[in-house]
Structure formats: C-alpha cells, structure tokens
C-alpha cells in the first residue's frame, strides 16, 4: 500500500466518522466541531487528487467563516433544540423521500462505469495546457462556460442568507434601541426640561 492510498483511507474514514457524528451528536456545539473536522478531512482528500483550490476553499471559507459562524450562532442564540425536534415526525415523509433520491444518486455515481464507461477517463483527464494551473483553469471554466450558473448560485445563497436573518431576528419587548431619526429630529424644547426645585425638595 502506497503512502497516498494510506492517507486516502485515513482521511476517508475520518470524514465518514465525523459526518456521522454531525447528525448523531445531541449537543449542537459538538455537531459543529465535528463538521469542522469533516471539512478538514475533505480538504485532505482534495489535496490528494490535485484539487488544491477546492481544499483551500474548504479550509478558508467553510472552516474559517461558515463553520465558525455556525458555532457562534449556536452558542449565542437561545435556541430551544428540544422544541425543534418535536416536529421531527411531521417532516419524516419528505425527509425520507429526499434521502431515497440522494441514495439513488449515490448508487448512480458508484455505477458510473456501467452507465457511461468513458466518464471516469473524462473526469481524470489532465488539463490540456500544462502551463495553466489548476486554479486558473477552474476560473476560466467557471467564468466562461458556466458564468450564468455561477451567478444564479450566488443569488440563491444571497436569498438564503436574507431568509436566515429574517427568521432568526426577533425583537424582544422592553429593550431600548437607538433610533437615529428621532435623535436627529430632537429640539431643545423637547430634549431639555427646566424645573424650579425648591430648597429641601426632590426632583
């Protein structure tokens, strides 16, 4: 067994174990930490196949921003996870249907050599121009042939981010907030009150 194969099995085993712990951990903070571990192992697999750009994206963007953001949101927001789990049976049918679809897709991916024998050779084909790096070739492909799909994915992520903010933003009653319009519109007669306090009397 070569060193590359040894690292592949190591990263793959850790990735599968971390992914299982993400969905089985009762503590949401532990689930996010296992998600970070899964990202690191997936980045290692990308390095093994020569996709260093995707590996750096996983480490910098997902681990450095997304996963840490999840961790802070889970720790700072007062989310009642027990209440969220009460509706589990309500979404079980549609969740099972999506799981079956994903399982069929995985079976089709594993059976690629039967459906399309040439697909594996096409995916593993090297870059035609040896002087072009992997990152540059990926950028040329994304921003030429798939630029509209790339922009559509960005719009979908933007809508998802706005929706998450709207759903999690709850204004608590009785909390004082700054209103700049009211502050700018204040006048001396409304902001200052002069009282004649007599000696020995309180305000």
Residue 113: predicted pLDDT: 58
pLDDT tens, the chain, 203 aa long: 688 888 889 999 999 999 998 888 877 778 888 888 898 899 998 888 878 888 888 888 887 777 777 777 777 666 666 666 666 677 778 888 998 998 888 887 777 656 566 655 655 555 556 677 777 888 888 888 889 998 999 999 899 889 888 887 777 777 777 888 888 888 877 777 777 788 877 65
The domain made up of 1-83 has a fold known as 1.20.120
**CB–CB of 43/15 below 8 Å?**
no
Q: Return the closest-CA partner of residue 41 out of 21, 18, 23.
A: 18
115 contacts: CB under 8 Å, gap ≥ 6: 108
Residue 82: predicted pLDDT: 62
Q: How far is CA 50 from CA 55, 103, 140, in A?
A: 9, 27, 17
134 contacts: CB under 8 Å, gap ≥ 6: 50, 51, 52, 53, 127
Residue 144: predicted pLDDT: 87
**Domain range list for the chain:** 1-83
**CB–CB of 58/43 below 8 Å?**
yes
pTM over 0.75? The answer is no
d(CA 165, CA 88): 23
Q: Which sign, positive or negative, has the C-alpha torsion 50, 53, 54, 59? A: positive
Rounded to the nearest 10 degrees, how much is the dihedral formed by the CA atoms of 143, 146, 150, 153? 180
The distance between the two most distant Cα atoms of the chain, rounded to a whole number of Å, is 99
d(CA 74, CA 81): 10
d(CA 101, CA 104): 5
The position carrying tokens 């060193």 is 3
3-class DSSP state of 63:
helix
**CB–CB of 18/41 below 8 Å?**
yes
**CB–CB of 149/157 below 8 Å?**
no
pLDDT digits (tens, 9 = 90+) for 55-89: 888 888 887 777 777 777 777 666 666 666 666 67
């Amino acid at each position: 067994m070569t060193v590359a194969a040894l690292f592949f099995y190591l990263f793959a085993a850790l990735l599968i174990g971390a992914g299982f712990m993400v969905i089985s951990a009762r503590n949401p903070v532990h689930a996010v930490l296992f998600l970070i571990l899964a990202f690191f192992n997936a980045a290692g697999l990308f390095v093994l196949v020569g996709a260093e750009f995707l590996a750096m994206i996983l480490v910098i963007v997902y681990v450095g921003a997304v996963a840490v953001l999840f961790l802070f949101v889970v720790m700072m927001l007062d989310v009642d996870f027990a209440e969220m789990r009460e509706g589990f049976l309500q979404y079980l049918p549609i969740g099972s249907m999506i799981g079956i679809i994903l399982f069929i897709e995985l079976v089709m991916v594993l059976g690629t050599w039967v459906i399309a024998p040439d697909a594996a050779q096409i995916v593993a084909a090297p870059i035609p121009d040896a002087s072009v790096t992997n990152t540059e070739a990926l950028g040329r492909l994304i921003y030429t042939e798939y630029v509209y799909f790339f922009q559509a994915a960005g719009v979908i992520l933007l809508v998802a981010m706005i929706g998450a903010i709207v759903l999690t933003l709850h204004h608590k009653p009785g909390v004082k907030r700054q209103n700049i319009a009211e502050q700018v519109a204040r006048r001396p007669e409304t902001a200052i009150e002069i009282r004649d306090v007599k000696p020995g009397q309180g305000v």
